[in-house]
Every structure is written in C-alpha cells, then in structure tokens.
Structure 1
Amino acid sequence: MANLVLRKGTHSQFQKSLQNNVIEWGTGLTIDQYFDRESTLRGTPYSQKAHFFYVLVPEDDIETTELLAHCEVYEHPALFVSTSGVAQEIKCMAIGSVFCPVEHRGKGYAKIMMNMLYKQLEQDPQVRASTLYSDIGPVFYDRIGWKTMPSKEVVIAVQPTWQVPALCQSITNKAEVDRLVTQDNIMIREEMNKVAQPAFAVLPAPEKIHWIQQRSQFYCEKLGHGDIEVFGAHIPGTDNYVTFFHNFGEKAIYFLRMRSDSDQNTKAFIALAQREALRYDFEKIILWDIPAIDGVGDKQTVIQQREESISALTIFNDTSNVTWLLNEKFAWV
C-alpha cells in the first residue's frame, strides 16, 4: 500500500466528493440539484468561515480526484467545564459527511482517515473537542476515540386539534432569530458557570441556525412552496423561544434549539410547530435531548437512543466523565 496522507482537499476534489456521496445524501435530488444545494450551503456566512474538507490520498499524488475517503469538518464555538468548575470557551470541530467511495470499500480507508483526523485534531493546540453524528452505529467511531453519548429523541405525531395559545407567536424574520439566539448564548454562558461537574456544550451560533434553515429553504423552493415564512416561535416578553428546521425528506419539523421554562411554553411551541407542519403535510415534530413532555398523550414516542445520528464526543487530553449538555439538533452537521 502506498503511503497515504490526510490533507485539505482542492476544489476539484470537493466536486468529486459530491459525485461520490450524492447516492448517500442526495436522495430525491438530481445530481445538478445536489450540487446546487451544496453550493448554496457553502455560500452561507457560517460555511464560509467554518467549513473544511479533508481527503485521504496517496502521498505521491495528492491532487488526484481518485479519492480513497473524504469527510467534512465544521468549527463550532463551545463551552467546557472541567473539574475546576469554570466554563471555558473552546474550539470544537464537528465531523460530517464521512464517506468512502464504493470501489474503495473493504480496505480500511475510512478507519485510516478517521484515525489520522483524530490525531491531527488532538495535536492542534487550538482544538479542545470534537463531535460527530454516526449513521453506522456506535462501535466504529467509539474505537477511534469519539465516545458514544446519550442520543434521546422525542417524536410527536402531527394532529390538527392542537390550538396555538395567544401567548405564543411565530418568528418570521431572521433578525429576530439573531436576537433570541444571541441572548440565549449569554444565558448559556452564565448557566454553564454554575455547573458543578465536567460538562460540554456547543453554543447555538445564529449563523449556524441560518445554515441549517437554508437547507429547508432550498427544498421548499425546489418543491414549489416558495419561501419558508416561519423560523420558529417565541413567548414575547420572555427569553423562551424555539427555532425550526423543516425536513422535507422526513416530513418533519425538528426543534433546532429551544429555551423553555415550563411544560406550558413547550406545549405552546409544539402547537405552533404542528400548525406549521400541517402547512406542508408533514407528519411529525422531533425534539432532541429533552425528557418526555407531560400532557401530550399517546401521540408521543420517546426514543432513548437513536439508531441514526448517534451523538459522539471526544474532549482531547481529558479523561473525566463529561456530560454533553444542550445536545439538540442545532449542533448537528
């Protein structure tokens, strides 16, 4: 086997990676539409500053488009509370789109790439943590160093009988998303300083929320629905809010990030999400990392450990038993 290297890929290599993985992540799209979607996402402010692309290639042919394996890496601001009990702002690198072309499978290239990436991140003094979401079970990444974390999901069937309380209003512009998420970040920092055990949390940056919601907008336009008009919900006069992700493939509205002080407000957010779901003939509302909700009835399914998008985390050079807080959909890549 030739000597292999892990390096940041060229534009041509990234284009080739899309040709490779369209079969996995381009369901329902033509290859031109898939390229268009990825170009749209790469043009967002978040992707422009936080997206990196890596390839595993032979050392003697580093610009080849015959890629042995490839992945994408996204930078996240995060907080880490060590045994000292003080929240430190850290850089977290989130791994996504791990892919080995069909013709190269069975040769260990994905494992080689991920081992190299783990070591590279571990040796970077600016990087303290890394996350990923596994669609291939918990074992593969756990053996490399990304430890499987609790991945709870609550699924609520859409029902037309839910009434939206007057206290709950739609978020209909991105500036309001920015305001609420920015305020939320301030509060998260204050709250993390009060955590008494080792803990980790990705911060819900406004530009990251917009990046995920841009995906919704792309599909909304392609399906002839025009523009997404509702980006979430909030309780005026409070800091309670939720941001939405319209997943047209799953016919679901995901809660990206929610701050709620009561079951009453949570149910109000669900009611507004139900109304929004009915607009697009969606079937369910999905929330990550929250307990069962009182008063929802038998339309609620609590999944203790997801089979896809299984959360995994590593804190480099730290052996403490870390709890991942706020492990909601906004942290996904």
Structure 2
Amino acid sequence: MIAAEPRTLPDGESPDLILVPATPSERIASIKLNSREWRGPLDLDTYIARENHLLTQRLTRDGLTCWVLVSRHEAEDNRTILSACESYRKTALLAHGGVVEKVATHGVGSVFSRPEFRGKGYAKRMMEELSTKLETWEMEKEKRGRSVFTVLFSDIGKKFYAQFGWRPFASSHLSVAAKEGGDTGARELFAEDVQKNLCSEEVLGKLHDRMLAASQKSAVAKIAIVPNFDHFLWHWAREEFYAENLFPDRSPPVVKGAGVDKAGVYCAWNRVFDDVPEDNILYILRWVYEEPTSPTEEQTTIQAMAAILRRAQHEAHEWNMHKVVFWNPTPLLQKAMALVDPTSELVHREKDSVASLRWTGEAEGLGEDVEWWLNEKYAWC
C-alpha cells in the first residue's frame, strides 16, 4: 500500500517494524514511489517497464531482492511501504594468506525513503536491519555460509551509511568533454569483443593470479567483484532501453567500447541518459591492460589509452552525451588523460556515487582491513 497518514505511523525504533522481501505487487509499489526521483526522462509506465526489463537480465533475474520496511501487523500486499531498497547478489573473489576463494556477496541499490515520512528514522532502521540480513541472505550453499562483505554507492555522502558499517573507499574520477573526432587508431568493440577481451577466462584468470600473488606478499585481505559479462549486459540493457524509447527512429547503440590490439588495452562503456543533455554521460565501465615492464611499453600503453579516450569522446558526441567519465584512474590513465585534455582534474567525490564497503571478514579470521580491487563503474548498482 502506498498511501498512509504519517501521524498514525510508528517511529523507526518500533518493534512493530520489519524488513522483508517485497511481494511482486509491493515491488511495483516501491518503484512507483521512487519514480519521482529516478525515472529521469521516462514517464511512469515506461520507468516501470524499464525496471521489469532489467529484472530479466542475467545479473539480476535470480539474484535481485526488493526489500521493504513495513509493519508486522499489516497483511501482505496491503502494507504501507515506509522505506525500500534492493540487493543484488554478485560473485566475488577473496584473496588472503596465499589463497583465492570465489565467494558470494551483495550490492545494495535503490535505497529510498519517502519524503513525507522522513524524520521518523525509517531509513536508519532499514539499513540497520539490512546490514545483518545480508550477511546470511541466500548464503546457504556458500562454503562459509555467510558473506564477508557487501557494497553500495552512496548518493548522500559518506556519513550516513558508515554508521552501519559501509565505509567509504576510493571514489575519484576523471572526465573529458564529448567531442567529434576522426580515426583515433582505436578499434570499435562490439558486445562479443567485450566478452572476448574483457571477460574471457584468460582475463579473469589473470585477475585471479594477480590477487593470489598479492595475497602472498601482504596479510591484508583483498576482494574484487568479478567483472563477468553479466555486469556489462545489465548496463547495456539500461542504455538500450533508453535509446529505444528516447530515439525510436535510431538504431540502438552497438559500439560498446574501444581497444588497441597491439597494446593490449581495452575498455567497455555505456551511455547514461538523463533529463537534460548536460547530465548525459558516457561512463567507461572497465579498463583492461597489462602493466608495462619498460619505459617503451609504458609509453605505448599510455598512447593507446589516449586513443581510446578520444574514441570515447567521439562516441559520446554521437549520442548527445555531455562528457566521458571513468572512476578511480590509475597513474597510467591519468597520464593518458593529460595527453587528451591537460586541463582535466581528478575529482574526489564526497557526495555522489561514493563507493562504500561493509567488511565482516574480521569475524572470519581475515583481519580488520580489506583492499577493494577493481573499484570501477561496472560494479555499480
């Protein structure tokens, strides 16, 4: 039930409140509630259709849970939704003590507190409940029987979620304006190219080996959400849905990234459409390259990255994007950006898309600290 009289509701500390998976109709009700903030250029019915379309994707169709904070005394499908969010089951790697484990985790997204109910502590209560529920949610078949970490990306700064254990991690980015351009020397990547060059068993195997080697040198545990092809398909499902509805006379976007084969440098991207062109962004989801072992190799790698960035600028221009953005650039990527736009400055986000991780590995004997590998846009949810 969407409607309710605020003055008749319990406060956030009431024992009458519970956090439970939404029924199908309650999920739709929660989507209607958050649509006022997140539907962007879509009307309500199209926004609901988008959410249903995303639910069918491989990443989410068996691993998405919509959570609602409600009163335990109200009947299913007739409960007042006080606050809501979603969790996404993901596969991750955990490296520690010379061992790499494949583990399950959850990403948290779509955290929404109804404006008319704010100030009653519902969001706080929901996150308190969720933080512990996700430790064992859908973990019955896992070796440990529980998750050792979960992630979210805060759009309300660093403090709120930190009180429930989601500590802020590196959240920086570089951006460059969209720009029409000619041949940059970078090859267009289509979906199958991304699967081959960024998600293959060989690429993921190298990630495993690097984490293994790092865990043998340092006692600090390392985690990474596996950048499998399902993540990219989910992001592309979003952009293709928007393109189909906003540009019905245009073919959907098929260029999904760019690469320079001779340098072994590749990236995948997606287009984010918003209410106004200034908020349209082409996000680079993931970079893949080998660390250079000589000054010559380093220069080749940097030049390839710059060529790819120029190709991304052109693609952004083609789709009326305002700029190209990528997260947590390495020193090599910063050098490449300096070639493309010397005025670009590294931005450290303090409010929007703050990458946050809740670590419970200490209770499993994994230490109190953790390193987050591959903290890139592909893992956003």
TM-score between both structures, scaled by the size of structure 2 = 0.82
Contact 1:152 / 1:306 at 8 angstroms: preserved in 2? no
Q: Distance in 2 between matches of 1:119 and 1:253?
A: 35
Instruction: Give per-residue Cα distances to partners, 1:151-192, cap 9 Å, x unaligned.
Output: 011111223357411xx21112x2222222124222211111
- CA RMSD across the alignment: 1.8
**1:141-290 alignment runs, 5 A limit:** 141-160=161-180, 163-165=183-185, 168-172=186-190, 174-180=191-197, 181-182=199-200, 183-195=202-214, 196-197=217-218, 198=220, 199-224=222-247, 225-236=250-261, 239-249=264-274, 250-261=279-290, 262-290=301-329
The reply on whether 1:322 has 2:370 as its aligned counterpart is: yes
Q: Percent identity?
A: 28
Contact 1:163 / 1:271 at 8 angstroms: preserved in 2? no
Equivalent residue, structure 2, for 1:297? 341
Structure 1 gap ranges (5+): none
CA drift at 1:289: 1.2
User: Out of 11, 14, 37, which is 1:24 matched to?
Assistant: 37
Equivalent residue, structure 2, for 1:68? 82
Instruction: Give per-residue Cα distances to partners, 1:284-327, cap 9 Å, x unaligned.
Output: 11010113234233342310235301010012142522221111
Structure 2 gap ranges (5+): 1-9, 138-144, 291-300
User: Out of 160, 166, 187, which is 1:140 matched to?
Assistant: 160
Q: 1:256 to 1:214 in 2, by over 3 A?
A: same
Instruction: Give per-residue Cα distances to partners, 1:84-124, cap 9 Å, x unaligned.
Output: 14222211100000111222211111111111111112355
Contact 1:137 / 1:308 at 8 angstroms: preserved in 2? yes
Contact 1:56 / 1:68 at 8 angstroms: preserved in 2? yes
More deviation, 287-296/210-219: 287-296
Secondary structure of 1:74's aligned partner = strand
Secondary structure of 1:46's aligned partner = coil
Equivalent residue, structure 1, for 2:4? none
Contact 2:104 / 2:147 at 8 angstroms: preserved in 1? yes
More deviation, 92-101/275-284: 275-284
**1:88-167 alignment runs, 5 A limit:** 88-123=101-136, 125-160=145-180, 163-165=183-185
Aligned residue pairs, count: 329
Equivalent residue, structure 2, for 1:86? 99
Please say which structure displays the higher CA radius of gyration: 2
Q: Distance in 2 between matches of 1:34 and 1:223?
A: 12
Secondary structure of 1:242's aligned partner = strand
Q: 1:5 to 1:306 in 2, by over 3 A?
A: same
Equivalent residue, structure 2, for 1:15? 28
CA drift at 1:70: 0.9
CA drift at 1:269: 1.4
